[in-house]
Structure 1
Amino acid sequence: MSGSLWLKPPKEGDTLPAIPRPRREETPKNPEAGKAPDPGPAPDPLDELAERLDGFVAAAVHPDEVAALLESDGMTDEHIRLTYGRADSFALAEDLYARVERRHPAPQAPPAGPRLGGLADCLLRGLVFALPGLAYVLAAPLLVGEHGRFGLPGGTVPLLAGAVTGWVWNQALSHRAYTWLGLGDRPAAARALLIGAPPGALAGTGVALAVAAPGETPAAVFAAGQALYLAAATALLVLGRERALLGALVPLAGAVPAFRWDLPDPLRAGLLLASLTATTVLAALALRPGLRRAAAGRGGPPRATSLPYGLFGLGSGLLVLHAGVGSTPVGGAGAVVALTLSMGPAEWLLHRFRGETLTRLRTLTTAREFRRAATGTLVLCLRSYLTVLTALALAVTLLWPGAPRPALPHLLALLLVGTALWLGLLLQAFGAVLGAATVCLLAAAAQTTLPAAGPAATGGAAAVLAVLTCVLLVRPTAHRS
């Protein structure tokens, strides 16, 4: 939008447009002689600007949108005062907003089947998020350690440390790659993944080996494979290869009989290695465009902008891990399974919130109406996600061998974790990731320091994130691209 707001296109070396002033003419001796007809009042430059920006201002739902456009086009307060007689861009935007009648284009009808197609894709992603959990079922007899630490079974500490390291690294790496994809440069995104994924795998392996105690070597070796899988799966998911990743995870289906029967150790190790090898090979094939010389991109997004996304991955990952430490399926491993499976519907509901608010942005005429509609959509989407999470938690308890009925306190704690995660993901999707990361990290730190404060810390985090969401995402300007 360069120069679109100026009354005349500026030329090289031009300064601000000069304000026409009336000429000083000598008074004729005969007042009637040479008297020209009265030309009438001079045209108001504000009317001309309103006419020029009519389409944009008519579709705006708040004067701040108009002010943002004026500032982005380079209009300074000095120019606004001299040309339009207003104090600043906000005062000028309010006048323009008041002069132009609201006219919103009718929303386009969605093509047939996109909702179901989008839901199917999100469910597929939820499935590929959850299936790697079967690897732990297969590997459980191979990872038994002699002595556990912190009240956890032997081998758990290196596994958790490696997993958290991978979540942090790959969350930041995904943001950088998605930024390249948003710029339309897919080869540069592949190159970013090609360069960033191996160090992430090495970091996860190094952390697991560093924290492994004597007797936990098998767990550290498994953590190394876990780190490699996380790096390869991240590349496939970012590049939209969910179906290929699902095919690579098929060997893990061999864990289903392991719930009731004991499988030979060589068979367990073979299934794990087959899935890991297939995932790594598929990721290497998908990243081949990043090897081209032209895939380096031009500058690229600053690396520091990806750091808050890594911190959010750390905070949310720790919340999930704390939810997985419990004595019942809903309060323990079943909580992690339910949360992981729910990520597919959660992603679809994020897209639905975005789509619904954009539709309201085109059809509503006041900021107050939009705030009310956006709040209603937010409540509906969050309620739908919690309903899905509850159903998944109950299904896990029914399918889990020998699982007792879920206790209400554990179920409520799980729903608080789900609320915090979904609201944090929503804020992250709209760029408010630093606030979401801070809240999740503080809640996770409180739970780590004082485990008994877990539900209170998670509930506080959910409440703070709900307030942040209502403050930030019910504003019309938050939804303008």
Structure 2
Amino acid sequence: MSGSLWLKPPKEGDTLPAIPRPRREDAPKDTHAPKGPDTESAPDPGPTPDPGPAPDPLDELAERLDGFVAAAVHPDEVAALLESDGMTDDHIRLTYGRADSFALAEDLYARVERRHPAPQAPPAGPRFGGLANCLLRGLVFALPGLAYVLAAPLLAGEHGRYGLPGGTVPLLAGAVTGWVWNQALSHRAYTWLGLGDRPAAARALLTGAPPGALAGTGVALAVAAPGEIPAAVFAAGQALYLAAATVLLVLGRERALLGALVPLAGAVPAFRWDLPDPLRTGLLLASLTATTVLAVLVLRPGLRRSAAGRGGPPRAASLPYGLFGLGSGLLVLHAGVGTTPVSGAGAVVALTLSMGPAEWLLHRFRGESLARLRTLTTAREFRRAATGTLVLCLGSYLTVLTVLALVVTLLWPGAPRPALPHLLALLLVGTALWLGLLLQAFGAVLGAATVCLLAAAAQTALPAAGPAATGGAAAVLAVLTCVLLVRPTAHR
């Protein structure tokens, strides 16, 4: 799995319109100014007609903001516009006679009739075109698992630690390090892409991917026991692959990555027949070399001197995304090692394959929420619609995950029948992952990372509490999602 497995590319939001200001009329001339000797006195214009009552400034403001206020589904949207324009509470009290921006927004919302624009027509093309791309990403997430099948005889150690097979510790340590680093790196590169600067994104990947590969290699070598050197060498190749695959996935080269993974299909006969060690090694090196070369080729725009010339987003902003990668990665690992080796591997494969449909369902939730935002007239109606969409998308993902788990179990040689407790534990992990990804997509990544890290720490300290910790994490993430994402302002 690459570091961008848990990350969705950010979208550029709509900017709030600026409040048009009426032009100030020219100041009246001072009739009491001293007159020079050559100045002739103006004739008396006579009595000034009564101009009548002064216009209500609130009516003028409502007229100027009519289009935006009519499309708003809650007064808070209007208050956000007023505050973004720089209206202070003192100015609002003096000019409009209201206590603050929220009171003024409520009056404007009540004065203007709701007129929501019609939903935009769906783009031309097949309806499930996005689903095909997401399924492709899910496939390239899962195919690297065949590398472990090919390398299994080469990595077999005499003695394992912590109840795990020999060589497992350096492999897991290197993989987790790569997930954390590449998740944070992906966020930074996606931020550049969101700013429309692809060369700067390539430059960020070019600068960050090699240190990530070195970090994964160094951690694997540091924790390897004397008899686990082959596993540490494989972990070094794994770290290099994670860095290269992150580059290709962030820059949208999924099909190229799929082609580079084709040699790993040689692992399919290894399920039933013993392959020669040189053939296993050759297939692994061929796939790793192809992935690395492709990543180097697509990073050529990052070599330009003008790339990333601006300051760019702060690096600290990417830290919560790395922490979420750590927490979610540990939850997946616990799902794999908490059962028998065969069923555990099947659970990891099912979770990895499900990331493709999960990504598509995230897009569907976003699209359906925006459509409801344009058609519904009250915040209460939107909350009901958003909650229903959330339940439908989450239920669809869990259904897909269940089907994948059953299919993988049936196709995996020697795999036992799935037990109900193991299936329920897998669904709890899937729930926590999908809700965490959803919160991350809407910017609430710190809360999702904290919950996942606490659940992973509880499972590490007390393995018997695994289902309870994962279930608690899923429940907390569900509450956070319902509180944050059913508000109309979260989708603006």
Q: CA deviation at 1:39?
A: 3.0
Whether the 8 Å CA contact 2:71–2:115 is kept in 1: the answer is yes
1:8 Cα offset (Å): 42
Change (3 A) 1:247 1:61: same
Deviation at 1:326, TM superposition (A): 3.6
Residues 187 and 318 in structure 2, CA contact (< 8 A), matched pair in contact too: yes
Q: Deviations over 1:144-172 (max 9, x none)?
A: 11110000000000000000000000000
CA contact (8 A) 2:179 2:322 kept: yes
Structure 1 residues 153-208: Cα deviation after superposition (integer angstroms, max 9, x where no partner):
00000000000000000000000000000000000000000000000000000000
Higher mean Cα deviation, 136-145 or 103-112? 103-112
For residues 279 and 111 of structure 2, the distance between their equivalents in structure 1, rounded to whole angstroms, comes to: 75
Higher mean C-alpha displacement, 453-462 vs 108-117? 108-117
Distance of 1:17 and 1:166 partners within structure 2: 42
Greater Cα offset, 230-239 or 44-53 = 44-53
Offset of 1:33 from its aligned partner? 14
Partner-residue secondary structure (3-state), 1:402 = coil
For the structure 1 residues 328 and 5, does the alpha-carbon distance in structure 2 shift closer, same or farther, using more than 3 Å as the test?
closer
Q: Give the CA deviation at 1:76.
A: 1.2
1:350 to 336, 353, 362: 362
Identity of aligned residues (%): 94
1:125-204 correspondence to structure 2 within 5 Å:
125-204=137-216
Tell me if structure 1 keeps the 8 A contact 2:343–2:416. Answer: no
In 1, are the aligned partners of 2:379 and 2:487 still within 8 Å (CA)? yes
| Contact 1:330/1:414 (<8 A) preserved | no
- Relative to structure 1, is the Cα distance of residues 325 and 281 closer, same or farther in structure 2, using a 3 angstrom cutoff? same
Deviates more, 1:37-46 or 1:405-414: 37-46
Q: Is the 8 A contact 2:436 2:445 kept in 1?
A: yes
Compared CA separation, residues 394 and 214, structure 1 to 2 (3 A):
same
Q: Deviations over 1:34-80 (max 9, x none)?
A: 77654332101111111111111111111111111111111111111
- Relative to structure 2, which stretch is displaced further, 290-299 or 180-189? 290-299
Shift of 1:111: 2.0
> Cα gap change, 1:438/1:26 in structure 2, threshold over 3 Å: closer, same or farther?
closer
Q: 1:104 to 1:297 in 2, by over 3 A?
A: farther
**Displacement, 1:449?**
0.1
Alignment partner of 1:115: what SS?
A: coil
Query: 1:233, 1:6 → 2: CA distance?
Result: 13
Deviations 1:82-123 (A, max 9, x none): 111111111111111111111111001212335311000000
Question: Residues 17 and 304 (structure 1 numbering): CA distance in 2 closer, same or farther, change over 3 Å?
Answer: closer
Shift of 1:403: 1.5
User: What TM-score do the two structures reach when normalised by structure 1?
Assistant: 0.92
* Structure with higher RCO (Cα < 8 A, 6+ apart): 2
Structure 1 residue 359 corresponds to structure 2 residue 371: yes
Identify if the C-alpha distance between structure 1 residues 19 and 83 changes in structure 2 by more than 3 Å, giving closer, same or farther.
farther
Segments of structure 2 that go 5 or more residues without pairing to the other structure are: 29-42
CA distance in 1, matches of 2:363, 2:239: 29
CA deviation after TM superposition for structure 1 residue 297, in Å:
3.2
Q: 1:18/1:250 Cα in 2 relative to 1: closer, same or farther (>3 Å)?
A: closer
CA deviations 1:373-414 (Å, max 9, x no partner) are: 000000000000000000000001100112121000000000
Q: Give the 3 Å change call, closer, same or farther, for CA 97–275 of structure 1 in structure 2.
A: same
Distance (whole Å) between structure 1 residues aligned to residue 359 and residue 457 of structure 2:
26
In the TM superposition, 1:406-421 aligns within 5 A as 406-421=418-433
Aligned length: 478
Q: What is the TM-score when the length of structure 2 is the normalising length?
A: 0.90
Q: CA RMSD in A?
A: 7.5
Larger deviation, residues 113-122 vs 300-309:
113-122
Residue 81 of structure 1 is matched in structure 2 by 93
CA distance in 2, matches of 1:379, 1:97: 30
1:217-237 deviation digits (Å, cap 9, x = unpaired): 000000000000000000000
* Alignment partner, residue 36 of structure 2: none
CA distance in 2, matches of 1:456, 1:243: 39
CA distance in 1, matches of 2:265, 2:5: 61
